[in-house]
Chain A
């Protein structure tokens, strides 16, 4: 186990003060993740450093931030992947969110959009295992699963962990305050897929079709690239557009 001396350049902001960067050096194992270093900075250097985290295994979505300008989850970002070995590692909060303090952003607007989508966080599980969001992990052949006698289906949590990374990467979010965003629209798509109620579906499609819905997307595809959970929000936005357009055609043909 090798130890690394890592220098972190962390964005600092407290209300009423000028934003600036503070530099800290901590020692971590070479197998450590970036969150471990942030934790150490807090514990060993500065208790006033505020940051979000909870699960440390890409399930809660709370720790999302930018590492050297690129959105990532520090809990699964290994130093060997993101650090060149000598330059300071820059940590910034997510873009397109109001900054509360240091790396903590205001996610109330984000969760309002997710609420509006009505997407529940559980879904039916696939009929084969293994499941993965990472292509590299698919080193085993998929195998079919049988259900236990007492269950009608297996269920699991949706891929989306509501981390906000896609919202930070999206150029439209940067210019439109009210845009539903890739996460919101992807959630609408999932909610549509999971409902049998035609009224519910119509309501959701109307929301997607609205002034700050799917048509604001300009196909940068950055959301899909940045998503750590293979949600593919861009694909879902395009699928929603197709459905909305197809419905329009059906209506005009019928009338």
Chain B
């Protein structure tokens, strides 16, 4: 019997499809997105720091940019990424070694609540101060 050829299936992007998936899958996708976001941020951050090499004038011009409201908003988004990734990361670490597996959904809920509260407080501080 001749070999059947199977249709090409796009594989790498599959993890991204969270439609109709449950909470754990959303957490997983969120972790990946924030992770990628943080890596991208890390490179941006290093690029920005390298401005220091060009002396006080380029650094000062950057700092004035960094005080603009839209930039502060980006800072809040960055913080959101850090909180989500970090706190969910705690959950992944715990469950990954068989601690709290049965409560993984509740754990996600609780930790994200902490993230939201912390983010709220931080946003107030960032925009207030």
Contacts and interface: CB of A to CB of B under 8 A. Distances in A.
Contact of A100 (B4, B15, B19, B23): B4
Interface stretch (B47-55, B74-82, B97-105, B113-121): B97-105
A218 interface: yes
Contacts of A175: 11-12, 14-15
Contact of B6 (A70, A95, A106): A106
Given A221-B22, A238-B101, A13 B11 contact: no
B45 interface: no
Prevailing SS type, chain B contact patch: helix
Interface residues of B, number: 28
Interface stretch (A56-64, A144-152, A239-247): A239-247
B129 interface: no
A222 B25 contact: yes
A22 to B, nearest CB: 16
A222 B14 contact: no
Contacts of B20: 68-70
A174 B15 contact: yes
B57 interface: no
B28 A219 contact: yes
B24 A16 contact: no
Q: What does DSSP make chain A's interface, helix, strand, loop or mixed?
A: mixed
Interface in A68-121: 68-70, 95-96, 98-101, 106
A192 interface: no
A182 interface: no
B95 A238 contact: yes
Interface in B1-60: 4-7, 9, 11-12, 14-15, 19-25, 27-28, 31
A174 B9 CA distance: 10
A210 interface: no
Given A235-B101, A238-B101, A171 B15 contact: yes
B25 A238 contact: no
A38 to B, nearest CB: 20
B92 interface: yes
A225 to B, nearest CB: 4
B128 interface: no
A234 B101 CA distance: 8
A219 B11 CA distance: 19
A169 to B, nearest CB: 8
Contacts of B15: 171-172, 174-175
A218 B98 contact: no
A238 B25 CA distance: 16
A198 interface: no
B96 A241 contact: yes
B24 A13 contact: no
A51 to B, nearest CB: 16
A99 B95 CA distance: 34
Contact of B98 (A99, A169, A222, A238): A238
Given A175-B11, A238-B95, A242-B98, A219 B24 contact: yes
The listed residue with most B CB atoms (<10 A of its CB), out of A95, A219, A238, is A219
Given A98-B9, A221-B22, 8 more contacts: A69-B20, A70-B20, A98-B6, A175-B11, A175-B14, A219-B95, A220-B28, A238-B101
15 contacts: A70-B20, A95-B14, A99-B6, A99-B9, A171-B15, A174-B11, A174-B15, A220-B24, A220-B27, A221-B22, A221-B104, A222-B21, A234-B101, A238-B96, A241-B96
